[in-house]
Structure formats: structure tokens, C-alpha cells
Amino acid sequence: MNTPRKIAAGNWKMNGLRADLQEARNLAAAFPAASVDILLCPPATLVGAMAAALVGSAVRVGGQDCHQNVNGAHTGDISAAMLADAGAYHVILGHSERRADHGETSTLVAAKASAAHAAGLTAIICVGETEAQRDAGQTLDVVLEQLKTSVPDGADKANTIVAYEPVWAIGTGRTPTLDQIAEVHDALRAHLPDAGISLLYGGSVKPANAAEIFAIANVDGALVGGASLKASDFGAIVAALDAA
Ligand SMILES: O=C(CO)COP(=O)(O)O
């Protein structure tokens, strides 16, 4: 079977203190046995504590970035092995905020993904066009180039997830039309190294639009930012994916 797994992944970005772990516990309590994979990616400071809070639950924990090296003199950075050691199963890589804020190139993202694979983590590799690139008609060229250069050799459905996140849709409340999402996901699917890799959509996913997005062919789930911070909102998105 090469059917991609359905995945609801939450990216807390730079949000969350220990008190917010209760949201993770509430989410886990609401889905003792969901048919979809549920994942929360808190800031690095909470990875270990969240993993401990979720032991025995169906919700897994991931990081938001890792260094491409195994260890060494890289002040402030975290290796993939450290994330795994803290209880993470996944790591988001190449998010547009990392590409923009930290100048991450696709070549670097591929190196980080290889490091994640070597540490036994699943890499969630993000691609997406800016608004200017979409307006210039470059969307498919941009995302396919990012896919080709950010996904390393050895990537397969067991160690890699790809997320399409149009930069202009992140945190803006704006989403592409369903046809626009379908067009990009169809193109990405056709160019994946393994057709069983799950393809997530990200960018202003919320309970109100989740079901229509999950009904699109080749959308296997979502990478959710703001709406993943509250168990009630994220739980509604998980339930929509479960029902899709
Ligand atoms: O960047 C995102 C997830 O990685 C999407 O963020 P929002 O859901 O807040 O738009």
C-alpha cells in the first residue's frame, strides 16, 4: 500500500510556556485513538516536557528546526539527535520563517533533513511561494525547485513529509482557492521521490476551512500554526481530517 498517511501537525512557532502543556494534554485526551497521525511541534524549550506529558498518548512531538551537524561548536543550535533524545519523532525544516529570518537555503534544508533522517527523525520539509512569485506566475516553478533541492537523497514515506505553505497565506487569514491548492499539490505529488509521502497544506488553516481543504485530492493533512495553540481549535481540525 502506498496510500499516504493522514497527518495533522501543529507548529507552535515561538509560542508556549510550561503552563500551555495543558493544551497538549487536552488534545491527547480528546483523541485517545484517532485514525490520523497527530503531531505538535512546540518551541525547543518544551519538547522534552511535552513528550513527557504525552507519554502513552496518540499525540507525538516534533521540533521546529535542527542543525545539519551531529554536534560541535554551534552555540544556540540543536542537533537532530538532541531532539530525538528529548522525545521528538519529527522536525519541521525549511519553514518560510526560517528561510526568511535566518537565510536558510534549500541546500541547507536538505543537509538538515539528511541529519534528521540519520537521527531517526521524520523531516517535515516546507516549500511555498511568496505573493510576488505567485503574481508573477512562478508558483509551480518555485515550489518544484524548492522540492527538488530541499528533499535529500534517501527521502521516502517513512522519513519525510512535505508541507506546501504559501508564504502569503501564513498567519494572514488568507488562503489560496481550493483549485490553487489542488494545482500545487498535484504538481508536488508528481515530483515526490516516493508517492507515499504525505503532502500537507499549511497557511491559515482553521476549523472553519479545514474540511474543504481536506477534501482536495492529494491533500493528506495540514501544518497548522495559530489554530494549533488551543486544543479546542486544533481538535476540530483533527476531527475534520479524521472525517475526510
Ligand atoms: O506557518 C504555518 C504552519 O507552519 C501556518 O501558520 P498559520 O496557520 O498561523 O497561518
Amino acid sitting at position 210: A
Confidence band, pLDDT 50/70/90 cuts, at residue 171: very high
Give me 69's grid cell.
551537524
β-strand pairing of 90-93 with 37-41: unpaired
- Write down the catalytic residue from 67, 95, 117, 185: 95
Q: Are 34 and 236 in contact (CB under 8 A)?
A: no
Confidence band, pLDDT 50/70/90 cuts, at residue 34: confident
* Predicted complex ipTM: 0.99
**Homologous superfamily of 7-243:** Aldolase class I (3.20.20.70)
**Ligand 1: centre distance to CA 34 (Å):** 22
- pLDDT tens, 112-169? 999 999 999 999 999 999 999 999 999 999 999 999 999 999 999 999 999 999 999 9
**Ligand 1: centre distance to CA 127 (Å):** 13
Q: Are 64 and 92 in contact (CB under 8 A)?
A: yes
Give me 235's grid cell.
481538535
Q: What pLDDT does 1 receive? A: 59
User: For residues 231 and 238, what is the distance between their CA atoms, to the nearest angstrom?
Assistant: 10
User: pTM for this structure?
Assistant: 0.97
State yes or no: 12 annotated in a binding site: yes
Question: Among the atoms of ligand 1, which is closest to the Cα of residue 206?
Answer: 8
By alpha-carbon position, which residue is closest to atom 8 of ligand 1?
225
User: For residues 197 and 130, what is the distance between their CA atoms, to the nearest angstrom?
Assistant: 24
